[in-house]
Amino acid sequence: MATANKNLSNYDKITIPSAKDFRFGIVVSEWNDSITNNLYKGALEALLDCGALQENIIKWDVPGSFELIYGSKKMIEQNVDVVIAIGCVIQGETKHFDFVCEGVTQGIKDLNVISDTPVIFCLLTDNTMQQSIDRSGGEHGNKGTEAAIAAIKMAALRQQA
């Protein structure tokens, strides 16, 4: 496993642009909310730690991970500098997992192709609940934190380009 015995959520603030002047949109799936709420907390804490202003962070909830696409599309219309799409899909007994994961992946990719606003992919696609726990503040860190750092860097890139 690529993340075994690693916490990938540590970051060096010196290497990250200030988030003070950026507006962030965060779209969070309500499905598997014990996981997505932890991912959101990690993202929010990292944004604030890197200088983002609370009033420049908009959070919207959507029912499930598939709805992240539409929520992100509508969030782009709020004139944010970057969107973070947070969700969690855990493998079950049917192919539903495959369809949702593929659909969300392609939908977020499409938004990045057609829009000038970056959309950060923070969708856990794990085999078990424990794997999701480990990646939402557990032994492998918090993917929400990592998504926030990526969002800051992409907002800065968008501003430069």
What pTM did the predictor assign? 0.93
Tell me what the pLDDT averaged over the chain comes to.
Answer: 93
**Is the distance from CB of 125 to CB of 68 less than 8 angstroms?**
no
* Domain annotation covers residue 3: no
* Domain annotation covers residue 14: no
**Is the distance from CB of 47 to CB of 15 less than 8 angstroms?**
no
Name the percent of the chain lying above pLDDT 90: 81
Catalytic residues: 96
Question: What is the domain count for the chain?
Answer: 1
* Domain annotation covers residue 118: yes
What is the domain-level CATH number for residue 44? 3.40.50.960
**Is the distance from CB of 18 to CB of 77 less than 8 angstroms?**
no
- Tens digits of residue pLDDT in 52-69: 999 999 999 999 999 999
- Tens digits of residue pLDDT in 20-50: 999 999 999 999 999 999 999 999 999 999 9
* Domain annotation covers residue 33: yes
- pLDDT band of residue 10 (cuts 50, 70, 90) is confident
- pLDDT band of residue 1 (cuts 50, 70, 90) is very low
State which residues form the domain around 135.
21-160
pLDDT at site 4: 53
